[in-house]
Structure 1
Amino acid sequence: MPTESFDERFTGPTLNQDLWVDHYLPQWSEPARSRARYDFTTDGLRLRIDADQMPWRDADGSFRVSNLQTGTFSGAVGTTRGTHRHRLDGLLVETPQVTRRLWTPSSGELEVVVSASADPTCMLAIWLVGFEESGPEDSGELCVTELFGDRIGPLSSTVRVGIKAHHDPRLTDDVRDIELPIDATKPHAYGVRWSGDGVDFTVDGQVIMSSPQQLAYEQQLMIDLFEFPATEQREPRNYPKTAMVHSVAGTSAS
Structure 2
Amino acid sequence: MPFPPGSLTPAPDREPDLDDDFRTGLDPRWWVASYLPHWTTPERARARYDTGPDGLALRIDRDQPDWREEDAPLRVSNLQTGVFSGPVGSPLGSHRHREGLTVRTETPTRLLFAPSSGRVEITVSASRDVNCMTAAWLVGTEHRSPTESGEICIFEIDADAIGETTVARSGIKAHHDPHLTSDMSEVALPLDASAPHAWFVQWGSGETVIGCQDRTLRRVAQAPDYPLFLMIDLFEIGPRWGRYPKTATIHRVRAWGESGLAAG
- What TM-score do the two structures reach when normalised by structure 1? 0.94
Match of residue 199 from structure 2: 190
The 3-state SS of whatever aligns with 1:170 is coil
Once the two structures are superposed, residues 72-99 of structure 1 have per-residue CA deviations (whole angstroms, 9 ceiling, x without a partner) of 100000000000011232x110000101
Match of residue 252 from structure 1: 257
The 3-state SS of whatever aligns with 1:27 is helix
1:25 and 1:124 map into 2 onto residues whose CA distance is 16
Q: Pick the aligned partner of 2:139 from 129, 133, 144.
A: 129
Which residues of 2 match residues 31-180 of structure 1 at below 5 A?
31-89=42-100, 91-153=101-163, 155-180=164-189
1:205 and 1:186 map into 2 onto residues whose CA distance is 16
2:40 and 2:223 map into 1 onto residues whose CA distance is 31
The 3-state SS of whatever aligns with 2:254 is strand
Question: Quick one: percent identity of the two aligned structures?
Answer: 48
Which residues of 2 match residues 210-221 of structure 1 at below 5 A?
210-221=219-230
1:247 and 1:167 map into 2 onto residues whose CA distance is 31
**Paired residue type of 1:108:** G
**Paired residue type of 2:256:** T
The 3-state SS of whatever aligns with 1:210 is strand
Q: Would the aligned equivalents of 2:92 and 2:103 in 1 still touch at CA under 8 Å?
A: yes
- Give the CA deviation at 1:197: 4.0
2:161 and 2:223 map into 1 onto residues whose CA distance is 29
- Give the CA deviation at 1:60: 1.4
**Paired residue type of 1:11:** R
Unaligned runs of 5+ in 2: 1-15, 260-264
Match of residue 7 from structure 1: 19
- Give the CA deviation at 1:228: 0.9
Kindly indicate whether residue 214 of structure 2 is the aligned counterpart of residue 205 of structure 1.
yes
**Paired residue type of 1:188:** H
Q: Would the aligned equivalents of 1:120 and 1:148 in 2 still touch at CA under 8 Å?
A: no
Count of aligned pairs: 244
1:56 and 1:208 map into 2 onto residues whose CA distance is 32
Moved over 6 A (4+): none
1:186 and 1:173 map into 2 onto residues whose CA distance is 29
The 3-state SS of whatever aligns with 1:132 is coil
Once the two structures are superposed, residues 191-227 of structure 1 have per-residue CA deviations (whole angstroms, 9 ceiling, x without a partner) of 1000114010010131111011121000000000000
The 3-state SS of whatever aligns with 2:31 is coil
2:211 and 2:175 map into 1 onto residues whose CA distance is 22
2:174 and 2:63 map into 1 onto residues whose CA distance is 34
2:99 and 2:89 map into 1 onto residues whose CA distance is 13
- Give the CA deviation at 1:120: 3.4
What's the Cα RMSD here?
Answer: 1.1
Once the two structures are superposed, residues 98-133 of structure 1 have per-residue CA deviations (whole angstroms, 9 ceiling, x without a partner) of 010000010000000000011230000000000001
Match of residue 241 from structure 1: 246
